[in-house]
Chains A and B, each alone.
Chain A
């Protein structure tokens, strides 16, 4: 980014919002259709009942809940990058945080659909809200499932507000270059931001407090999701390491998806000088750390199962690695904890192909991690007479693809209508234009 001026950064990022070509509409249309297909199949399931999905006794949580946990995990990288790394003053976050934050908001929205889909009778979803029902009964706040509803809705509200606050000064910059109807829209969206001293004074403080609030929230949300499992007594779930294990996994998968999405984005928008290989290298280093934590968690689960002397616990872990779901288990181990070790080598951390391949594999692995945790534990609980296997039906597969359509459609729309790189924060890391010793020539 060296040698760039405020104006160059401003223009380069605003140019990404230029009227799109036909190819863009084709892509958005394709993802929109995929989403519509997923919704139609959901409607089919509502009419015909949950029986059309593969979930049945004993595996009552299948791909829907796997997808829920996967998408909540994906949502973690955005706030990690925007809030935690903001507090740590990590400069490499500046050019990538906006896309990661957008990804967070869309991923939480996608995740939020799955408990509704899984409910079957979606029209009674309001029973989970903190309001009394017709019988004046309130939801049970001691249930981790209700805790989860509160945590996820808080996360969606806070991350969406944080995302919008960050956008305000950038939209003001876009407003000044826009014309016609676009100018009117961006004027409204900029809330009348002019960058006055008073506005910046309050903005800086508000942003800091938002970051400070969002930081513990990120950690708490996936911890609460993990307690959906860990607070039960199901072998393979009832474990105290679940919260940190889930949080590390969430960051692992979230950062991997940021890499997967940003590599084509920077190429399409020709912003390689703003989203640099250094940004990717830094993310790869964090992935290396989370990969090691996840690998350690996999190993320690086996140790705990053996050391606890609990035969049910040990049985489930032996079965995971050698039973019906062994391919899924080994995909998870290899993709999440072996493949990321390649990032020990600078060559892989700085190679676009290497980064892309590893990041995709991590996401495959992280999806299988949730699948393995959920399905294997439910398939082999305490009573062998009640054992049974699970495999998803076409209904679950199409709904899952539909959710990818929803997420990617939103991401592509965002990338074309809002600045996908923070104009203000990228300017902040450029050398301040000074009469003496400045490289910011005008």
Chain B
């Protein structure tokens, strides 16, 4: 029986890296890329869908808006103190509370969205990751059968990989 292995390659140049991504994408292979910086060319080559973090932001913002207005309105109604002949529940000053709660809840929900979607924190060692991927190299790691490793290694080299390793 063939066992699965991780083959990873590091690249110095983005154009080489993008070519490799496109190739593995066309081959419909599962792979993970590593990059020290976000890059539009890499994003386009990966063609991934938009992140859903925005939905968290929206949900948080709406919850915040409702909570802010409700809290201010509820507390004003709890103690019906008429000041300057104005009704206790006055919307205009509550806009500030509603606004601040919208931002606060929106930001916290965005943070939560990032944590959930990007699966952070995760301290387990990623197979195929190398320290230079956080410095100046671009990396790609592919899961493959042992029999495929040689041909995959050749492909990486064709695209200009600086180093190919197997785990």
Contact = CB atoms under 8 A, between A and B. Distances in A.
Interface of A: 5-7, 10, 130, 132, 136-142, 147, 150-151, 154, 157-158, 161-162, 165, 168-169, 172-173, 175-176, 187-188, 191-206, 209-210, 213-214, 216-217, 220, 224, 227, 424, 427-428, 432-436, 438, 442
B108 A172 contact: no
B110 A138 contact: no
Main secondary structure of the interface of B (DSSP, over half): helix
Interface residues of B, number: 66
Contacts of A193: 120, 134
Contacts of B48: 197-198, 201
Contacts of B33: 196-197
Contact of B35 (A147, A200, A436): A200
B38 interface: yes
B155 interface: no
B41 interface: yes
18 contacts: A10-B36, A141-B76, A154-B103, A157-B107, A165-B111, A173-B36, A194-B134, A196-B126, A197-B34, A200-B43, A203-B114, A214-B103, A220-B103, A224-B100, A433-B12, A433-B13, A435-B15, A435-B160
B66 interface: no
B34 A150 contact: no
A415 B43 CA distance: 33
Contacts of B111: 161, 165, 206
B71 A130 contact: yes
Contacts of A217: 100, 103
Contact of B90 (A142, A147, A161, A191): A142
Contacts of A436: 15
A434 B114 contact: no
A428 B36 CA distance: 9
Contacts of B126: 194, 196
Contacts of B118: 198-199, 202-203, 206
A161 B135 CA distance: 24
B99 interface: yes
Contact of A210 (B36, B38, B107, B131): B107
B57 A154 contact: no
A87 to B, nearest CB: 15
A187 B121 CA distance: 10
B72 to A, nearest CB: 4
A393 to B, nearest CB: 34
Contacts of B78: 136, 138
